Amino acid sequence: MSQPSLASACTAVLRRDLTLAWRRRGDIAMPVLYALIVTTLFPFALGPEDALLQRIAGGVVLVTVLLAMLLALDAMFRSDIEDGSLEQLVLAPQPLALMLGMKILAHWLGTALPLMVAAPLLAGMLHLPTAVMPVLLLALLLATPLLSLLGAVLVALTAGTRRSGMLLALMLLPLCVPVVIFAAGAVAAAQQGLPWLAPIAWLGAALALALVLAPLACAAALRIALDA
Amino acid sequence: MANWIPLWLHKLGSPPIFYRFAGLLRPWMLAFAVLLGAVALYGGLVLAPPDYQQSDAYRIIFIHVPSAWMSLFIYGVMAIASFIALVWRIKLAEVVAMESAPIGAAFTFITLVTGSLWGKPMWGTWWTWDARLTSELVLLFLYLGVIGLYHSFEDRRQGARAAAFLAIIGIINVPIVHFSVNWWNTLHQGSTIRILGPSKMSGDMLWPLLTMMAATKFYYLASLFGRARVDLLAMESGKDWVRKIAEDEAAP
Amino acid sequence: MSSFFAMGGYAAYIWPAYAVFFIVLIADFIAPSLRRRRNLRELRSRLARQTARQDRVTRTPPASS
């Protein structure tokens, strides 16, 4: 029996997850819809003055995207645990971390990418200056995979438990504080005409670290959570 | 010959022996904690002179600072015990890690409440988004996450191992949060408040503080021993030694 | 004595702080002993049920035969 090569196993996992995501297109639209609803509520709550909305736009979009991602995070491994395919993956000869990395990538493509496409619209609704838009997108491009990776570790830890979305939020909050600070800090700095490269660089460094470590941690967490 | 230390430690790791050991030491720890605490309170509330800047308000320091110190110390103990539990799968380490979490959360809560009770008269506000306060709040969330994750598993040992993993992630996270909030504060140029009070403390104020720190350490040990004993009983409820204890205590 | 309790005008902050300190720690200390008593009571009732069942099992065969 010949083992399939690592690359083909990776693409197989990726293709399977993307196909599954595509079959449930409605689920992809949900986080975007949620972000849209939350963003719409802010002007009603705070009043429609341009200056105020401009000042909070970056932060509101970031927090909204984060909450929308949290909403979808719970489902990252759920169907795979229910149908047992995750256990197959754990037993597979290929390194588990790499396979989980592919699953996280698929999840990011399925939830964060639509949110990033919608982000300029959300920011535009809050009158974020057009000049700041690229910085916002860059911050989101670095922050959302970071959140997906960190979230995946926590989701793996809760894999063996009764479902509780609130616990996931409680566990994610301490981890996402620095992400929000640097992402929102970059946008705020750009808005004030200050150099914004430093926080973006920090985010990038954190992302590079998480890309290497998070799949490994995720695999370790999954092994803990699944063995009974 | 020098073999007795590892041997003794190995023996201590067995639940019934630790149960008895903790039961013997616990009253002593509690007595030390109460005694030192009483001395520290007398020294801090009565003997220490009022501060020349803060008059009597600074007296909150005698519980605030030891609690803050304990909140970090217990997290450290929890993380080390978690590491041992994950690597060597020692049951006792799991128990120590998981039973430290509620005590640490209690001290963190005390730190936050006493801090804001101190902040109101001194800075004119209950809460400020300073790096230390924010890190302490995040620490509370970390503790609550560990406790919540532990209790969400049906199997206690599996829950302990998952929560131990979370505790280790958390200890990497705390310095990052502290650093990022510091950076955030410089960006926003908010109300800058000097958190550290008098940089030089007179001896009259220092010794009650140090005594209180020792008292909280002893209290932690006493509480940890009590909690670990209960946890061991629950974990080993099928074993003979637990049955014997249950029957002995039913007698009166 | 009353000047001691007044704490130079800061009584409203100092005494609640100390009260929180003691209430939280006492609650933390009492909680496990309550849990211990409950656990042991459950264990005893479980043991009682077990021995009752065993008694029944050992007693029934001679009665039925």
pLDDT at position A2 is 58
The encoded tokens of residue A86 equal 């995750």
Residue A147's pLDDT band, with cuts at 50, 70 and 90, is very high
- φ, ψ at A41 (rounded to 5°): -70, -25
Q: How far is C24 from chain B (nearest CA, A)?
A: 7
Which residues in chain C touch residue B59, judged by CB atoms under 8 angstroms apart?
7, 10, 14
β-strand partners of B26: none
d(CA B171, CA B73): 11
Contact C8 B230 (CB under 8 A): no
Per cent of chain B over pLDDT 70 is 90
pLDDT at position B99 is 93
ipTM of model: 0.86
The encoded tokens of residue A115 equal 């949110």
β-strand partners of B51: B55
Which residues in chain A touch residue B181, judged by CB atoms under 8 angstroms apart?
177, 181
Using alpha carbons only, how large is chain C's radius of gyration in Å?
Answer: 27
For chain B, which chains pass the contact test of at least 3 CB pairs under 8 Å? A, C
Across chain B, mean pLDDT equals 85
Contact B162 A224 (CB under 8 A): yes
Contacts of B219 (CB under 8 A, 6+ apart): B29, B30, B33, B37, C25
A185 lies within 8 A of chain B by CB: yes
Contact A157 B149 (CB under 8 A): yes
The phi-psi region of residue B124 (left if phi > 0; otherwise alpha if psi is between -120 and 50; otherwise beta) is left
The encoded tokens of residue C5 equal 């309790």
Contact B110 C21 (CB under 8 A): yes
The encoded tokens of residue A42 equal 């802010």
Across chain C, mean pLDDT equals 81
Cβ contact B171:A219 at 8 Å: no
- φ, ψ at B55 (rounded to 5°): 45, -120
Query: A181, A218, A222: best mutation site toward chain B, by most B Cβ within 10 Å?
Result: A181
Does the pLDDT value for residue C8 go beyond 80? no
Does the pLDDT value for residue B218 go beyond 90? yes
pLDDT at position C61 is 58
Residue B191's pLDDT band, with cuts at 50, 70 and 90, is very low
Angle between helix axes A50-73 and A96-125 (nearest 10 degrees) is: 150
A154 lies within 8 A of chain B by CB: yes
Question: Containing domain of residue A106, as a range?
Answer: 6-226
B60 lies within 8 A of chain A by CB: no
Look at residues A227, A13, A136 and name the one whose alpha carbon lies nearest to residue B86. A227
Q: How far is B242 from chain C (nearest CA, A)?
A: 9
Domains of chain A: total: 1
d(CA C53, CA C59): 10
Contact C43 B250 (CB under 8 A): no
The encoded tokens of residue A45 equal 């709550």
Contact B60 C36 (CB under 8 A): no
d(CA B241, CA B248): 11
Q: Does residue A1 lie in a domain region?
A: no
Long-range contacts of residues C29-37, Cβ cutoff 8 Å, at least 24 apart: C29/B222, C29/B223, C29/B226, C31/B102, C32/B223, C32/B226, C32/B227, C32/B229, C32/B230, C33/B226, C33/B230, C35/B230, C35/B234, C36/B229, C36/B230, C36/B233
Q: Does residue A132 lie in a domain region?
A: yes
Nearest to B243 among C18, C29, C47 (CB): C47
Cβ contact B160:A162 at 8 Å: no
Which residues in chain B touch residue C20, judged by CB atoms under 8 angstroms apart?
110, 113-114, 117
d(CA A215, CA A70): 18
**Domain residue limits, chain B:** 63-190+201-235
d(CA B143, CA A15): 39
pLDDT at position A164 is 67
Q: How confident is the model over C14-45, as pLDDT tens digits?
A: 888 899 999 999 999 998 888 888 888 888 88
Which residues in chain B touch residue C36, judged by CB atoms under 8 angstroms apart?
229-230, 233
Comparing alpha-carbon positions, the chain C residue that sits nearest to B65 is: C21
Which residues in chain C touch residue B110, judged by CB atoms under 8 angstroms apart?
20-21, 24-25
Which residues in chain A touch residue B145, judged by CB atoms under 8 angstroms apart?
167, 170-171, 173-174
Cβ contact B191:B128 at 8 Å: yes
Q: How far is C52 from chain B (nearest CA, A)?
A: 15
**pTM to 2 decimal places:** 0.88
Choice among A133-137, A157-161, B6-10, B30-34 with the minimum mean pLDDT: B6-10
Q: Does residue A23 lie in a domain region?
A: yes
